[in-house]
Amino acid sequence: MNTTIPVTSTATELSETTGDEWWRTAVIYQVYPRSFADSNGDGIGDLPGITAHLPALRELGVDAIWLSPFMTSPQRDAGYDVADYRGVDPLFGTLADFDDMLAAAHELGLRVIVDLVPNHTSSDHAWFREALASAPGSAERGHYWFRDGKGENGDEPPNNWNSVFGGPAWTRTTNADGTPGQWYLHLFDSSQPDLNWEDPWVWARFRDILRFWLDRGVDGFRIDVAHGMAKAEGLPDFTPAQGAGSMGGAGGSLEPEISTVPPEPPYWGQEGGHAIFRDWHRVLAEYDGDRALCGEAWIDPPSKLALYVRPDEMQQTFNFSYLETPWNAQALHEVITSSLDAFGSVGAPSTWVLSNHDVVRHATRLALMGDNPQGHGLGPKTPFRPDPVVGLRRARAATTLMLALPGSAYLFQGEELGLPEVIDLPDSARQDPTWFRTHGERYGRDGCRVPIPWTAAGASYGFSDTGASWLPQPAEWATLARDVEASDPDSTLSLYRRLLAEREERGLGAGVLEWLDGFGENVVAFHNGEVTVVANVGEASVSLPPGTVLVSSAPLAEGRLPADTAAWLAR
């Protein structure tokens, strides 16, 4: 293994004009604000906490950060329930704190993407309050999906759709006189009513919201539930295929077979959504500096996903087919090929991602020995326990493979420390609406959202001065703290720094992939420009091709690449 860690701390100039299309090759680091760094001791991370720690991200070597929502919200779904799209929730600070954070990031050469949640508002949003106070058939109700119930007294939901978080996707309202009223649609929690994107009024509001943040200087938006905004005409009943992933993907199966594509539900991937992104593309084009939209679209296969990034729509979309690919050489080969083909066919970069705030962290997921659909999570009663040593080893290899791929890559805070999923959270600490809506049947996503460790010593590992932490941190995390890993050349943090520095220096993001054969059925191997990349997902070591090893996810064994290890070599 290499022991020198090149660290760039000089700020790079951000281009003021259009033309560099930075998002084509960018490595974008997801900050989950409530779990990143707490500045005021209340146990919840905040905007000043982010500002204070931006230099650590610059040192890591990422190009941009994406912030999960920090807007005004009752926090029923950790901020993905927005009550005011232009306000900062006091939990996270003020608009001035946001402006300071943005300026500090730009000063360091980091772009900033913010999360926009247009599929639904919070039920506390003034638009929904006004809709509830207005009569059935009113313009106010038309901004959402209000419908009369079925059955003699309208006491059955208007259709059979289920919420992603469990239970029905409809909730009945109560009229002012106390009698039961209409129902409203919510694909997620009942506190997240879906907006009706067939209503031009909604389009006009969101153009203004985009401009509000673009005027403040953000470099782009991550679009929440981009694949769910348009619904099929008439809201027809639908019975999902067995095992379909809960965000709408092809499923969380860890079997090596490539999953068959289930029929499209009438609430995911509808054609009508594309016109919205064309509209937003035009709004962003009014601004300088190559602003970008990245869609959260759980759509499989990549050929259908690529429709979201045609030249006049979004710039990027998350590649969840890649995230859901098992640790299997043939499956990895296929998903990389189909992604590059599909995105390439519309002139868009492929993106790559292994972890985020909705999935089991990949240092745990890659060692799971049982089926665990997205969103179900892990907890004390899960019948299979992944081996953490195998998980971390595979995670390091998987990231080494991912960061060698051409295109743009997303990292989730804490993965650079090798953090595992926290499985043993007490029931009383859990906060994901999934946990409550399924009455504890699904654990949900809290296990990947535990506040990250900055220092081995100190209360809550430097997350908060008071030691408060909105989710409890495991005792073992002292050894995974950033200050410990920063001084250890073999740590996961040092591996990430080295990968990011080499990726930048050798232009891998803008490179061209050329497959290599002859390494056996458990190896993924390719050239990207002058770099040879070899990932061994099998149990036996394999020989390495000629070249100087630039970086390896684990030590080599007598010159050979051991099990669950990936390496980059200079040709």
Contact residues toward ligand NOJ (CB under 6 A) are: 77, 80, 117, 188, 224-225, 296, 357-358
Contact flag: residue 160 with Ca ion (CB under 5 A): no
Please choose which of ligand NOJ, Ca ion, none residue 300 contacts, taking the beta carbon within 5 to 8 angstroms, the exact cut-off set by kind. Answer: none
Q: Give the contacts of 389 (CB within 8 A, at least 6 positions apart).
A: none
Under rule CB under 5 A, which residues in 464-483 are in contact with Ca ion? none
Measured from the CB atom, is 97 or 224 closer to ligand NOJ? 224
Measured from the CB atom, is 224 or 564 closer to ligand NOJ? 224
Please choose which of Ca ion, ligand NOJ, none residue 421 contacts, taking the beta carbon within 5 to 8 angstroms, the exact cut-off set by kind. Answer: none
- Choose the catalytic residue: 148, 237, 286, 488: 286
Measured from the CB atom, is 41 or 55 closer to Ca ion? 41
Written as six digits, the tokens of 393 are 């080893």
Question: CB of 103: closest distance to Ca ion in angstroms?
Answer: 20
- Choose the catalytic residue: 224, 290, 313, 421: 224
Written as six digits, the tokens of 149 are 């119930």
Please choose which of ligand NOJ, Ca ion, none residue 358 contacts, taking the beta carbon within 5 to 8 angstroms, the exact cut-off set by kind. Answer: ligand NOJ
Binding Ca ion (rule: CB under 5 A), the pick from 23, 28, 30, 38 is 38
Q: Is 304 helix (H, G, I), strand (E, B) or coil?
A: helix
Report the residue closest to ligand NOJ, judged by CB.
Answer: 80
**Number of residues engaging Ca ion in binding (CB under 5 A):** 5
Length of the chain equals 571
Q: Is 434 helix (H, G, I), strand (E, B) or coil?
A: helix
Question: CB of 520: closest distance to ligand NOJ in angstroms?
Answer: 38
Please choose which of Ca ion, ligand NOJ, none residue 80 contacts, taking the beta carbon within 5 to 8 angstroms, the exact cut-off set by kind. Answer: ligand NOJ
Measured from the CB atom, is 80 or 463 closer to ligand NOJ? 80
Contact flag: residue 40 with Ca ion (CB under 5 A): yes
Residue with tokens 């993106």: 351
Measured from the CB atom, is 79 or 181 closer to ligand NOJ? 79
> Catalytic: 224?
yes
Handedness of CA 485, 490, 492, 494 (dihedral sign): positive
Contact flag: residue 44 with Ca ion (CB under 5 A): yes
Contact flag: residue 42 with Ca ion (CB under 5 A): yes
Under rule CB under 5 A, which residues in 534-563 are in contact with Ca ion? none
Rounded CA gap, 491 and 63, in Å? 21
Question: CB of 268: closest distance to ligand NOJ in angstroms?
Answer: 12
Question: CB of 130: closest distance to ligand NOJ in angstroms?
Answer: 22
Specify whether the CB–CB gap between 290 and 23 falls below 8 A: yes
Residue 546: CB atoms within 10 A of its CB come to: 7
Please choose which of Ca ion, ligand NOJ, none residue 42 contacts, taking the beta carbon within 5 to 8 angstroms, the exact cut-off set by kind. Answer: Ca ion
Rounded CA gap, 500 and 531, in Å? 14
Please choose which of ligand NOJ, Ca ion, none residue 189 contacts, taking the beta carbon within 5 to 8 angstroms, the exact cut-off set by kind. Answer: none
Residue 40 has phi, psi (to 5 degrees) of: -120, 15
Specify whether the CB–CB gap between 48 and 57 falls below 8 A: no
Report the residue closest to Ca ion, judged by CB.
Answer: 46
Stretch that binds Ca ion, among 25-33, 37-45, 102-110, 374-382 (CB under 5 A): 37-45
Calculate helix-pair angle for 492-505, 388-402, nearest 10 degrees: 10
- The helix (run of H) or strand (run of E) holding residue 295 is strand 292-295
Written as six digits, the tokens of 465 are 């001065």
Measured from the CB atom, is 101 or 354 closer to Ca ion? 101
Q: Is 66 helix (H, G, I), strand (E, B) or coil?
A: strand
Rounded CA gap, 227 and 166, in Å? 19
> How much helix, strand and coil, in percent to the nearest 5, is found in the chain?
30, 15, 55
Question: CB of 79: closest distance to ligand NOJ in angstroms?
Answer: 9
Question: CB of 280: closest distance to ligand NOJ in angstroms?
Answer: 18
Written as six digits, the tokens of 454 are 């900055």
Written as six digits, the tokens of 330 are 């043939």
The residue among 245, 249, 165 whose CA lies nearest residue 442 is 165
Measured from the CB atom, is 40 or 94 closer to Ca ion? 40
Residue with tokens 């673009």: 214
**Active site positions, annotated:** 224, 286
Binding site for Ca ion (CB under 5 A): 38, 40, 42, 44, 46
